[in-house]
Amino acid sequence: MISKEHIINRFVSYVTVDTESDPKSETTPSTEKQWDLANKLAEELKAIGMQDVSIDENAYIMATLPSNVDYDVPVIGFVSHFDTSPDFTGANVKPQIIEKYDGKDIVLNKAENIVLSPDYFEDLLQYKGQTLITTDGTTLLGADDKAGITEIVSAMEYLINHPEIKHGTIRVGFTPDEEIGRGAHKFDVEKFGANWAYTMDGSQIGELEYENFNAAGAVVKVKGKIVHPGYAKGKMVNSMYIAQEFISSLPRFETPEHTEGYQGFFHLCSIEGEVEETTLQYIIRDHDLGHFEARKEVLKKLTDELNSQYGREVITTEIKDQYFNMREKVEPVMHIVDIAEEAMKQLDITPLIKPIRGGTDGSQLSYMGLPCPNIFAGGHNFHGRYEYVPVESMIKATEVICKIAELTALKQQ
């Protein structure tokens, strides 16, 4: 039985290390502080008895748990990322442990009146009676994806300490910079050497995902003309007003707050503007490749229309693809999803097979030759002050890893 206290202590030791990534940085990892946890993880893997532990010049960590059977078993892998999102601060995380959650409001921060309430976050009620780890309301928690790392390390430790559980060779990999879309960019798939892998990067217990968004980012730059406002008639061109036209011309209800399931969206992430120039940052998401391409065309056509309307190039739009739907790469090897589903069922977990409304390292790794579905890590409300994780979900995720390893070996007998 995996110890609750052991899981809590390990998780807290990870989330209290600030590993926020930085999309504006050009280094890997994007922030120097990610090395603090990376080096800690490498040493911890050695301490629990993992073999071939390596950490490269970009902070990618890999390690091996050798097979304990005398027949051939496919090499499988488990992958998580140790950076946290730049959407909300990850500095000075102060986890709060709520024993036997009673189903009522949780006061995260009394001084600032920050409350985690099931009236707004209904998923909380699934975990009544369980142990929750929350923030203190001033930071994110970092369960995305330090819960996944906790589960992988704990599963490897458990398998090492319980050799009666038969398994083939298992590879683990921890990456920087997943939250800024670069987690797989310098991942050495050949060195990793697995036939397939699983990212432990999902949310609620039972999630099992092999579909994700096709994704692109767009930078829209609007050019204006600044003159003295007292003498501006017929001369000033305010770029912020043109940017407003661009924003309002896109479908109002095709945004994250109005979509779900397989529905795609345009998401305006940031605006930086003055009269002379305004920059809009968008992300474009859709599960269907045809719809995804059509969304990119909408931005291009709108840019052309506004330039034509103003009689000159007032807008430039640069669109870059970020990742693609892993379904195309996983469907030919669906047995890897079947194994994970069977593992959950044997552990009395109801599998929730659904599309990811986002992306993981696994989506890029699948296109790099490492098919890589995604499994729940247990956390909720990622990237913000209301993030929490049930400890029981982390324990179950740890058990799923062990069971996948066992089933993979059994199927080769």
Q: Give the residue numbers marked as catalytic.
A: 83, 178
- The dihedral built from the CA positions of residue 270, 273, 279 and 284, taken in this order, carries a sign that is positive
Cα angle, residue 399 at apex, residues 77 and 213 outer, rounded to 5°: 55
* Sheet hosting strand 388-390, strand order edge to edge: 96-98, 132-134, 388-390
- For 82, 140, 346, the CA distances from 382, given in Å and listed in that order, are 14, 7, 28
Q: Which of 216, 223, 357 is nearest to 300 (CA)?
A: 216
Q: CA-to-CA distance for 323 and 365, rounded, in angstroms?
A: 10
Q: Is 40 exposed, middle or buried (0-12, 13-18, 19+ CB in 10 A)?
A: middle
**DSSP designation for 104:** S
Amino acid identity at 373? P
Cα separation, 315 vs 310, in Å, equals 10
Paired strand residues for 407: none
Rounded to whole angstroms, what are the CA distances from 297 to 149, 290, 304, 307, 328?
Answer: 39, 11, 10, 15, 23
191-202 in b/e form (b: 16+ CB < 10 A) is ebebbbbbbbbb
Q: How far, rounded to the nearest angstrom, does the alpha carbon of residue 135 sit from its chain's CA centroid? A: 18
Report the relative pairing of strands 196-202 and 315-323 from DSSP bridges.
unpaired
Coil, helix or strand at residue 292 = helix
Instruction: Tell whether the torsion through CA atoms of 58, 75, 346 and 338 is positive or negative.
Output: positive
Could you tell me how many residues make up the chain?
Answer: 413
- Crossing angle for the helix pair 335-346 and 391-410, to the nearest 10 degrees: 120
Local structure of residue 33 (DSSP, 8 states): T
